[in-house]
Amino acid sequence: MGYARKNLISLDETPYYHVVSRCVRRAWLWGFDTYAQRDYSHRKVWALDRLALLTSIFAIDVCAYAVMSNHYHLVLRVDRSKANKWSDEDVIERWSQLFEIPLPVKRWREGEASGAEIEAAQHIVMRWRRRLIDISWFMRCMNEYLARRANAEDECTGRFWQGRFKSQALLDEAGLLTAMAYVDLNLVRAGIAEVPEEAEFTSIYARIQTMHATTKKNTKARRPRLLPFRDQAKASEPRLPMLLQDYLELLDWSGRRIRPDKRGAIDRGAPRILERLSINADVWGLAMQVRGNVFGRAMGRLNHLRLHARMLGQVRIRGLLQARRLFHPA
């Protein structure tokens, strides 16, 4: 049974969402295509460039990302309060970076609009303000641009993406942490990188590069601004509800569990953040493996999943057993 996106994305429940878009037929349209003997890896840079532009326009922050050869993951945070603080002129200026401004809004900005035109312009700007916190519009502006550019390069037409993007509500801090770690460890899990700091085109790679104030010479992508961790942001700034050092320690430990063949892959004990959030360390290791994200439309503790299911009018929701095993009652 399908659900309308407006029911799956509810900012009253949570501002955090994990979204995934996959190429049609899971084709390697972003990596090296062995069938066509063509390398499309340069398209990953397009994704980061576009992501950087959109996060500067929308009131949506990036918590984590990973660009793979046939799909990409994003963990997003919608900042509704930020959009509410924008003036009408701010909204128009942001929207104009993506779309053409209609005549009523142009006349209103120039002070030439009549009463009916003013009302129409204000209604349009109000609609734009809502769209600038809408993940569906964010993904539309992301995927349509990438599909058109790829099709132009291939000199073809047709679908580039495998239907709608998939979204997963992250209902609490435990769910957010699990989704972010799962996304950041994608390249390690796929065997493309041995350690997170070598996993290019992921958010953890960008964070570590920023920490060391270094940039890989062959990386020409404009990096999207990432939502800072609790110890990186000012008191008034939005932030992730965890410390960067705790997160790095968790990824390092999780990466060793994923790649037991690595040198030094001795279990050194679960990181403190798992204990603080009452997360089962053994089940966490399984959750970071391939297909370890067995949750469905939402991820979080058992009670939060049940409340989310009730909101959707369901008796059950996928992931209840995993939530019971992974997240102990806080």
| 213-217, long-range: CB < 8 A, 24+ apart | none
Task: State the amino acid at position 58 in one-letter form.
Answer: F
Lowest mean pLDDT segment, chosen from 8-17, 161-170, 224-233, 267-276: 267-276
Phi-psi domain of 279 (left: phi exceeds 0; alpha: psi -120 through 50; beta: other): beta
142 vs 26: which has the higher pLDDT = 142
176 half-sphere exposure, CB direction, 13 A CA radius: 19
CATH class of this structure's domain 5-83+133-326 = alpha beta
Q: Domain ranges for the chain, please list them.
A: 5-83+133-326, 87-131
Which amino acid is present at 217? K
- The rounded radius of gyration (Å) of the Cα atoms in the chain is 21
3-state secondary structure of 267: coil
Return the pLDDT at 222. Answer: 72
Provide the mean pLDDT of the chain: 88
d(CA 268, CA 249) in angstroms, rounded, equals 11
Strand pairing of 16-22 and 71-78?
antiparallel
3-class state of residue 47 by DSSP: helix
Question: Is 209:48 a contact under the CB 8 Å cutoff?
Answer: no
pLDDT in tens, 1-38: 566 666 678 888 999 999 999 998 767 777 777 777 78
What is the pLDDT at residue 259?
Answer: 60
- pLDDT at position 311 is 85
What is the per-residue pLDDT for 171? 96
The mean pLDDT value for 57-63 works out to 98
For residues 288 and 182, the answer to whether their CB atoms sit within 8 Å is yes
**Which of the pair, 126 or 38, is modelled with greater confidence?**
126
- Looking at residue 282, its amino acid is D
Question: Rounded distance, CA 268 to CA 289, Å?
Answer: 19
Helices (H), 39-172: 43-57, 80-85, 88-95, 103-109, 115-131, 135-154
Contacts of 225 (CB under 8 A, 6+ apart): 52, 55, 56, 61, 62
Single-letter code of the amino acid located at 152: A
Residues 173, 273 contacting (CB under 8 angstroms):
no
Q: What is the pLDDT, as a whole number, of residue 266? A: 37
The residue whose two tokens read 């503790």 is 301
Q: pLDDT digits over 202-222, tens only?
A: 999 999 988 877 545 444 557
Residue 143 has pLDDT above 80, yes or no: yes
Residues of the chain above pLDDT 70, percent: 92
Give per-residue pLDDT as tens, 250-276.
999 998 877 655 543 435 578 989 988
Query: Measured between alpha carbons, how far is 51 from 226 in angstroms, rounded to an integer?
Result: 11
